[in-house]
Amino acid sequence: MKQLFAFVVLFGSLTSVTAQTSKVLFIGNSYTSANNLPEMTRQLAISLGDTLVVSSSAPGGVTFQGHTTNATTQNLIAQGGWDYVVLQEQSQLPSFPPGQVASDCYPYATALVDNIRTHSPCAEAVFYMTWGRENGDAQNCASWPPVCTYEGMQQRLRISYLQMAQDNSAECAPAGMAWKRVREEFPAINLYSPDGSHPSVAGSYLVACTMFSTFFRTSTVGATFTSSLDPATAATLQQVASTVVLDSLATWNIGINDPVALPEHVDLGAGQIAFSESSVNSTSNFWDLGDGNSSDQSAFTHTYAANGVYTVTYMAMDDCGRTDTSGFMVDVISAGIAALNKPSISISSDAQGLVVNNAHRDGTLELFDTQGRKLATHAITAGEFHHLSAPSGTAMLWRFQAKDGSFGAGMVVRP
């Protein structure tokens, strides 16, 4: 079973606090079984200090529909206790016309995810984005021109896998986009086996690196396990996979189910502070109020007995042991909370995007969507007007942490 593993988001950073032992089930076909991807991923994790217990069901050519009735797959899902379940569709199907993908792929992806969550409520479903064939899909080119080239097929795969991740509140391991980056920037590295479809050892190693970074949200650079690859090639693949995943966590829906801690506080005067939270994906709370007192309530009022500066730490938690922590300071005086704890920041919107007015303090502004996925982090300079781009029709949660300890949070809607 996975050990308690907290991801702490504090002042814009994401940090793992202990090593993991995790159970991973791979469900796919020959793209998963080629070069024994599950075992390769396990060995990579060991070399980076983490332990994976892996199992797989990957008969050649099987689709998601086939897996919904495959006895081996269903028995493995029913075992439960999985921390991650990797889902890889037949290599061509997600690149087919959207209507066909919607009828032949999406419903079965959902059926698998629903079954996984029935037996492993805390499992992360991870859709394994595959890659376009080396020279496109000649077999289906005449009937569906977008797959006539590698680039066209890759784009269709990207769209379909991201749709499945979004539809199912699941994550996407962007192996196909790491593959594209290697093809463009390091063409001397051959990712394909001779058939122009299945992965070479280098291709599978790239996928393993992508999987590790998706699971643990950390880089594989420096891993000592390189399979049969020379160290320079392995190092390049480590770097590419880590960059593709970690530079775009929100794009790949990674962290979609994580709690996001959004504490709030209001000065009531005479040392009384009303604390509340508008956190996302959380089921319980813990407040360390900095004066020896604590609370597990969502909203409450606390009276500080003495004047002083108190560090308040708020933790949002879910039923799976995932946490997010946010800290701030309050400066209690007899009249209430001093200006230190009221950052003069306001966020509104106009036709161009978000308007940030920050009169007094340097700090960091984090923006989240309403499902808790981080959209952006911005450095905010005191005394300057900031205009930030944002899509229209979007509601966003914001959290501001000033360098002097002042804190603010709220919501803004971009019309």
CATH of the domain at 403: 2.60.40.1270
Q: In terms of domains, do 122 and 228 share one? A: yes
Contact between residue 400 and residue 361 where contact means Cβ atoms under 8 Å apart? no
Q: Please check the confidence at residue 341 and state whether its pLDDT lies above 50.
A: no
Is a pLDDT exceeding 60 seen at residue 13? no
pLDDT given at position 353: 77
Task: Among 317, 341, 365, identify where a domain stops.
Answer: 341
Distance, in Å, from the CA atom of 137 to the CA atom of 144, rounded to the nearest integer, reads: 9
**72-117 confidence digits (pLDDT tens):** 999 999 999 999 999 999 999 999 999 999 999 999 999 999 999 9
Q: What proportion of the chain, given as a percentage, has pLDDT over 90? A: 70
Number of domains in the chain: 3
Domain identity same for 308 and 362: no
Query: Is there a domain that residue 2 lies in?
Result: no
Q: pLDDT-based confidence at 24, cuts 50/70/90?
A: very high
Question: In this structure, is the dihedral angle defined by the CA atoms of residues 193, 23, 118 and 323, taken in order, positive or negative?
Answer: negative
Which residue, 299, 321, 341, sits at the end of a domain? 341
Same domain, residue pair 83 and 113? yes
Q: Determine the Cα–Cα distance for residues 39 and 304; give it in Å rounded to an integer.
A: 55
Q: What is the mean pLDDT of the chain?
A: 88
Residue 4 banded pLDDT, cuts 50, 70, 90: very low
Percentages helix, strand, coil for the chain, rounded to the nearest 5? 30, 30, 40
pTM score of the predicted model: 0.80
Dump strand ranges (E) for 94-241: 124-128, 171-173
Query: How far is 254 from 245, CA to CA, in rounded Å?
Result: 9
Task: Report if residue 254 sits inside a domain.
Answer: no
Nearest CA to 160 among 114, 95, 210? Answer: 95
The pLDDT value given to residue 415: 62
Confidence of residue 27 (pLDDT cuts 50, 70, 90): very high
pLDDT tens per residue, range 251-290 = 999 999 999 999 999 878 888 999 999 999 999 999 999 9
Query: Which range marks the domain in which residue 330 is found?
Result: 261-341
